[in-house]
Copies of this chain bind each other. A is one copy, B any other.
């Protein structure tokens, strides 16, 4: 076992206060509490929080932390849903939010160089202003950071056409435990020299080192987009509809799905919000197309033609402002779920696209068997389904039933050739299941690879693999 530091001695405290002067180091209970949790229900108090502003501070910090065997937990906006940023073994939380500044967006190189604390939506805006496009679009885009997105390989709505964060990272600069600075890749769009350490950092959950600069690939901003929200009489027709659209040769930039529970939750809105899905619909699909004006128009025609044989009960096409309204319906699902029950377990399995129907149907049955309502919605296009297990913790046994249902759903995903996490990661809450999915051989390899970067396992410990 790793012999971690067991407390923040006076000397360690003095070191941190010296390296991070002023409000750069937080030690008060109040200060620490604000950094003890993320968007999961997990919580653990760190011993200290530091807020670096320069790479040199991170070099000093990680030289010291390695010598002291001090656990270090990188953190940005804490939007993660699996406790990946929770300091579960004691130690120091490193808030990366002050490692920020105007992104360098280069319209000749089609590259952005970004500090990790930059908010992803701010980067997207800086790109748009120059006619450029950074496609990854996680739901948290307005609050989460590029550093957090890269550390977790954030996915989001546009992955079906444009891939995930991994596909847009050209290079990273990172400080490793012991204080070494590693630079990988660069501003060249192609590079095949050496092992691909760049992508190894993507999705590494802060376990290899602290990223201090990220180089991203950009493309031209699509001229326009249009969306379609299509209601279906039943689940089977909606899923068949998605297949028909892909088979018609249309590659939407987003292909989202809402099941009957999700629609019911939306319809319960006491204020009667805009709900352009026929009342008889039991499932809905939401497509977004982007590209040139004539290209999008042609693809929309092809898409609606492909859906017609499945007899959709409603078709709402949105362009411009009305497109945004359609997407607000989709954004409303997650909060609306609470109209069905006060608590939810939110999971995000992904399965091969052809197994989505089975996954959704079986998931609903697992809910029924546990006496719980399960809502399924999300990124159908890449088989990534968000599953909300609704329950009421105040009723005896319901929290346990929800946990048990989640367990079965994870096993179902793996059995269908899928994964227990399409985009949220495994963090603290799914650490054990990660090992089940990966198997002991792969976990052993991952651990050994991690130890190349972090021999004493001080980086974000307690998170499995």
Q: Is the pair A193, B295 in contact by a Cβ cutoff of 8 Å?
A: no
Q: Is the pair A191, B419 in contact by a Cβ cutoff of 8 Å?
A: yes
Q: Which of B164, B186, B190, B352 contacts A423 (CB 8 A)?
A: B190
Complex contacts, A219 vs chain B, CB 8 Å: 251
Q: Which of B160, B200, B204, B302 contacts A292 (CB 8 A)?
A: B302
User: A69 interface residue, CB < 8 Å from B?
Assistant: no
Q: Is the pair B220, A190 in contact by a Cβ cutoff of 8 Å?
A: no
Q: Could you tell me the distance between the alpha carbons of A189 and B443 in the complex, rounded to whole angstroms?
A: 21
Bin the interface of chain A by size: 35 or more
- Please report A residues at the B interface, Cβ cutoff 8 Å: 106-111, 131, 152-153, 155, 159-160, 163-164, 166-167, 180-184, 186-197, 199-200, 202-204, 207, 219-223, 243, 246-251, 291-299, 302, 350-355, 379, 382-384, 417-426, 434, 437-439, 441-443, 445-446, 448-450, 452-453, 465
Q: Is the pair A191, B298 in contact by a Cβ cutoff of 8 Å?
A: no
Complex contacts, A196 vs chain B, CB 8 Å: 153, 166, 199-200, 202-204
Assuming the contacts A196-B203, A199-B196, A199-B200, asked whether A180 and B293 have C-beta atoms less than 8 A apart, the reply is no
The 10 nearest A-B residue pairs measured at CB: A295-B295, A108-B354, A190-B422, A189-B382, A294-B298, A187-B352, A109-B352, A448-B452, A191-B419, A199-B199
Q: Which of B108, B195, B292, B422 contacts A191 (CB 8 A)?
A: B422
Complex contacts, A355 vs chain B, CB 8 Å: 109
Q: Is the pair B465, A110 in contact by a Cβ cutoff of 8 Å?
A: no
Assuming the contacts A353-B109, A452-B449, asked whether A423 and B166 have C-beta atoms less than 8 A apart, the reply is no
Complex contacts, A452 vs chain B, CB 8 Å: 445, 448-449, 452
Q: How far is the CB of A129 from chain B (nearest CB, A)?
A: 13
Q: Is the pair B350, A189 in contact by a Cβ cutoff of 8 Å?
A: yes
Q: Could you tell me the distance between the alpha carbons of A171 and B295 in the complex, rounded to whole angstroms?
A: 33
Q: Is the pair B110, A353 in contact by a Cβ cutoff of 8 Å?
A: yes
Q: Is the pair B220, A188 in contact by a Cβ cutoff of 8 Å?
A: no
Q: Could you tell me the distance between the alpha carbons of A338 and B355 in the complex, rounded to whole angstroms?
A: 53
Q: Is the pair B384, A190 in contact by a Cβ cutoff of 8 Å?
A: yes
Q: How far is the CB of A197 from chain B (nearest CB, A)?
A: 6
Assuming the contacts A188-B350, A445-B453, asked whether A243 and B108 have C-beta atoms less than 8 A apart, the reply is yes
14 A-B contacts, Cβ less than 8 Å apart?
A: A155-B190, A166-B196, A167-B167, A182-B441, A186-B419, A188-B352, A188-B382, A191-B422, A192-B425, A194-B446, A197-B445, A292-B298, A449-B449, A452-B452
Q: How far is the CB of A220 from chain B (nearest CB, A)?
A: 4
Q: How far is the CB of A223 from chain B (nearest CB, A)?
A: 5
Complex contacts, A299 vs chain B, CB 8 Å: 292, 295
Assuming the contacts A110-B246, A196-B199, A220-B249, asked whether A379 and B297 have C-beta atoms less than 8 A apart, the reply is no
Q: Which of B155, B293, B353, B453 contacts A192 (CB 8 A)?
A: B155
Assuming the contacts A291-B291, A294-B294, asked whether A192 and B437 have C-beta atoms less than 8 A apart, the reply is no
Complex contacts, A250 vs chain B, CB 8 Å: 220
Q: Is the pair B442, A192 in contact by a Cβ cutoff of 8 Å?
A: no
Q: How far is the CB of A168 from chain B (nearest CB, A)?
A: 9
Complex contacts, A352 vs chain B, CB 8 Å: 106, 108-109, 111, 186-188
Known: A186-B352, A194-B434, A197-B449. 6 other contacts (CB 8 A): A167-B167, A186-B417, A195-B204, A197-B442, A220-B249, A445-B453
Assuming the contacts A221-B249, A448-B452, A465-B195, asked whether A442 and B183 have C-beta atoms less than 8 A apart, the reply is yes
Q: Could you tell me the distance between the alpha carbons of A381 and B455 in the complex, rounded to whole angstroms?
A: 41
Q: Could you tell me the distance between the alpha carbons of A423 and B160 in the complex, rounded to whole angstroms?
A: 26
Q: How far is the CB of A85 from chain B (nearest CB, A)?
A: 15
Q: Is the pair A192, B417 in contact by a Cβ cutoff of 8 Å?
A: no
Complex contacts, A222 vs chain B, CB 8 Å: 249
Q: Is the pair B450, A195 in contact by a Cβ cutoff of 8 Å?
A: yes
